[in-house]
Amino acid sequence: MVRFAIIEVNQSLTIAQVTPGQLPEDTARQERGYLIDPATYRSYDQAREALFKMLPENADQTLLQA
C-alpha cells in the first residue's frame, strides 16, 4: 500500500511517496531531507490537508513545494 509523508527538503515542505516496506525516515533520507510529521497518510490529498493544518494562517506559500 502506498503511503505519503511530509518532509522538509532545502528549507521547503513537501509530500513524498513512501514505498511499501520502507520507513518514512528512509524516504526523507533518500530525498536528502528531514521527516517533519511521524504520521503517514493513505493519500496525497490527506497529506496535503495535514500539511496545510501545520502552517500558520499567514504562512508564506513559498515554503511549499508541489
- The string of pLDDT tens digits covering residues 29-52 is 999 999 999 999 999 999 999 998
Query: Quick one: pLDDT band at residue 63, thresholds 50, 70, 90?
Result: low
The C-alpha cell at 54 is 501545520
Is residue 43 within 8 Å of residue 50, measured between CB atoms? no
Query: Quick one: pLDDT band at residue 23, thresholds 50, 70, 90?
Result: very high
Percent of the chain with pLDDT over 70: 85
Look over the chain and give the mean of its residue pLDDT values, rounded to a whole number. Answer: 88
Residue ranges per structural domain of the chain: 3-59
> In the chain, what is the greatest distance between 2 CA atoms, to the nearest angstrom?
37
Q: Is the pLDDT of residue 25 over 90?
A: yes
